């Protein structure tokens, strides 16, 4: 059986690594890589909340995925409209 503490520590690791990748992500030119960097942090937070409650983890994953994807795609579309090299 997988330990609850394993979910918690793996979630902390993914949240830290995903946050750092997102912070350095604007230097990356590929929008898919930027989206993937934010999803790593989202999954990390989901794993942290999974150690407390399953429903809370599922709702957090769905909400953060939708919000982050909408924000990033809107920003990418705006940059392309302005003529920036994305």
Q: Say what the pLDDT of residue 13 is.
A: 92
Count of domains observed in the chain: 1
48-83 pLDDT tens trace = 887 887 777 778 778 888 888 888 788 778 877 887
Place of tokens 């830290």: 16
Distance from chain centroid for Cα 65: 7
What distance, in Å, lies between the first and last C-alpha atoms of the chain?
45
- Inform me whether the pLDDT recorded for 86 exceeds 70: no
Distance CA 60, CA 83 (A): 34
Q: What angle do CA 74, 15, 5 make, to 5 degrees?
A: 145
Q: Summarize the confidence of residues 18-45 as an average pLDDT.
A: 76
**Which residue range is the domain that position 47 belongs to?**
4-82
Distance CA 62, CA 76 (A): 21
């Amino acid at each position: 059986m997988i330990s609850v503490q394993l979910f918690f520590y793996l979630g902390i690791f993914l949240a830290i690594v995903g946050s750092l990748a997102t912070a350095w992500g604007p230097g990356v030119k590929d929008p898919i890589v930027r989206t993937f960097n934010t999803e790593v942090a989202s999954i990390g937070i989901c794993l942290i909340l999974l150690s407390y409650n399953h429903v809370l983890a599922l709702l957090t994953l769905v909400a953060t995925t939708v919000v982050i994807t909408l924000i990033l795609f809107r920003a990418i579309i705006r940059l392309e409209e302005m003529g920036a090299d994305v």
